[in-house]
Structure 1
């Protein structure tokens, strides 16, 4: 998408690519962290430290996929390349914030599930 749509789209292609780069870096960090914990002689519970980079990675990936920035939504803003602006309509801001909360909740839940699966896998080794 290339234009603001309340509760659906508030970022353009440039912002989407940026979110993908950050998501991939966070995923790489989480994978490396779990691998180190699995290979080291440390308690498996340390795998729970992968939750934070997984949550960041998932949220930023979902934001890129959805063309929707959670932070901009909470601030009542949008960004499409050089076109940045404010959302003046109160209903549109509510829709944006509701969608932002949904994306964050989905990301946290997915990160919790992946962290639990990682813990079970490392504990079994």
Structure 2
């Protein structure tokens, strides 16, 4: 079993699987969206809309990789159980603060990745 570590780990195996599934869905949606944009022959600027599913996909994958849920950090809870049914409150304010800081860092990392990815897809749209 994984242990809760403030600002480092707030989810266990079951919750990591959920985040990975969400991330995979976001990345698949990004691929499908790119395919639609290419088939429809839309202008390169249209490729920038991929930032939304790309952000969701990257955030899900990052959360799974880091064993850390951004939403749980915002709520002040954790669940490191194997079943995903052991949600507990984070009672210490210093722990909550550490969780929120890590959550913001993950969200920024996903946003930067999605922005770079969408920009690359925009450039791809210029040559397609």
TM-score range, shorter chain: over 0.9
Where do 1:41-120 residues align within 5 Å? 41-80=41-80, 81-120=84-123
Q: Tell me, in whole angstroms, the C-alpha distance in 2 between the residues paired with 1:76 and 1:83.
A: 14
Where do 1:1-12 residues align within 5 Å? 2-12=2-12
RMSD: 1.0
TM-score after normalising by structure 1? 0.96
Judge conservation of contact 1:38–1:44 (CA < 8 Å) in 2: no
Moved segments of 4+, more than 3 Å = none
Secondary structure at the counterpart of residue 79 of structure 2: strand
Question: Is 1:25 aligned to residue 25 of structure 2?
Answer: yes
Secondary structure at the counterpart of residue 51 of structure 2: helix
- How many matched pairs? 125
Q: Tell me, in whole angstroms, the C-alpha distance in 1 between the residues paired with 2:110 and 2:29.
A: 17
Q: Tell me, in whole angstroms, the C-alpha distance in 2 between the residues paired with 1:41 and 1:107.
A: 28
Q: Tell me, in whole angstroms, the C-alpha distance in 2 between the residues paired with 1:84 and 1:21.
A: 20
Judge conservation of contact 2:43–2:125 (CA < 8 Å) in 1: no
**What is the CA deviation profile of residues 82-120 of structure 1, one whole-angstrom value per residue up to 9, with x for unaligned ones?**
221011111111100000000000100000000000110
